[in-house]
Structure 1
Amino acid sequence: MGEFWPVPDVLAFLAGQWRVERTVRDLANREHGEFRGTTEFGPLDDGGLLHRESGTFVWQGVPRPAERTLLFLPSREPGTTDVRFADGRPFHDLDLTSGRHTTAHPCSADLYRGEFTVADADHWRTVWRVGGPAKDLVLTTDYARVA
């Protein structure tokens, strides 16, 4: 992605259903996997969004069902969100007002560094680089809005 598409309100932008394609590269072992599925951002009572992702993850040729749930909650800054795990623990912040955002999340001894970019009203991408003693991964996820 070369240019970024500014998003004045991330929660309004994300609301709805998205097709998801993710590649997972293990740089240490030179292995890779792929996830394909959907993500739905549905309304929560507090004005936030419930993120439900489900699909199939293929690792070393073996397909498995996969899913995750996150909470996207309104943050103090207008148009931005605080992303939390399903149990309420903090994950990361998200501000797409410029169309691009970088963030980080420590997980035990590993560090997740994320970059979020928006191409247009119907396409965005995340790239997470995970490094530490337990992991050496790059996860690239492309989202396309379901009409």
Structure 2
Amino acid sequence: MGEWWPVPDVLAYLAGRWRTERSVRDLASGLEGRFEGTTSFDGLDGGAVDAGRLDAGGLISREQGHFTWQGVTRPAERTLRYEPGSGPGRADVRFADGRPFHGLDLTTGHHVADHPCAADLYRGEFTVRGPDRWRTVWRVGGPAKDLLLTTDYLRETPEA
């Protein structure tokens, strides 16, 4: 399904600021929502990020923007940690408090990850589409949830 763009160093690839657009669809009710904002991947634990190069530690991802659901728009944010994995193309993704979320291996430009959460299962598909564009699709299923979350990330570049 489409072409994938291999990522030799996942942390260096993600470092920086991304425009973030997410559609959220409740498959049971047919309701849809939308998130628009930015995601910044900055050095974790004092590690420096400079021109796509990461020194030590990993990344902290801070997503900020607005989520609109049923005509009501509210501020929304999320923080995740991306720690070095077993190789440069891999990372261990954790919640802000350090709990494990999922592994991430973008060496082929594509990865599928599962995260069980209580009685629900989150299955994420990560697809890198180029040096400045990637997408995640999370399917959430369980007794209380039947959701599809599609997020597109486009790298923001500094004004010249």
Same fold (TM over 0.5): yes
- Normalising by structure 1, we get a TM-score of 0.98
Q: Which amino acid aligns with 1:51?
A: S
Q: Deviations over 1:17-68 (max 9, x none)?
A: 0000000000011100000000000001352000000000000010000000
Find 2:141's aligned residue among 119, 131, 141. Answer: 131
Corresponding position: 1:54 with 2:64: yes
Q: Distance in 2 between matches of 1:100 and 1:78?
A: 15
1:65-104 aligned within 5 A: 65-104=75-114
Instruction: Tell me the equivalent position of 1:36.
Output: 36
- Normalising by structure 2, we get a TM-score of 0.90
Q: Which amino acid aligns with 1:41?
A: F
Instruction: Tell me the equivalent position of 2:25.
Output: 25
Q: Distance in 2 between matches of 1:129 and 1:8?
A: 26
Instruction: Tell me the equivalent position of 2:50.
Output: none
Q: Which amino acid aligns with 1:143?
A: Y
DSSP 3-state at the match of 2:98: coil
Instruction: Tell me the equivalent position of 2:14.
Output: 14
DSSP 3-state at the match of 1:11: helix
- Identical-residue share of aligned pairs (%): 70
**Which runs of 5 or more structure 2 residues have no equivalent in the other structure?**
46-55
Q: Deviations over 1:60-108 (max 9, x none)?
A: 0100000000000001233210000000000000000000000100011
Q: Distance in 2 between matches of 1:96 and 1:86?
A: 21
Q: Distance in 2 between matches of 1:11 and 1:47?
A: 10
**Which runs of 5 or more structure 1 residues have no equivalent in the other structure?**
none
Corresponding position: 1:113 with 2:132: no
DSSP 3-state at the match of 2:123: strand
Q: Distance in 2 between matches of 1:17 and 1:53?
A: 10
Cα pair 2:10 2:88 within 8 Å, conserved: no
Divergent runs of 4+, >4 A = none
- RMSD over aligned Cα, in angstroms? 0.9
Q: Distance in 2 between matches of 1:30 and 1:144?
A: 27
Q: Distance in 2 between matches of 1:94 and 1:27?
A: 26
Q: State the number of aligned residues.
A: 147
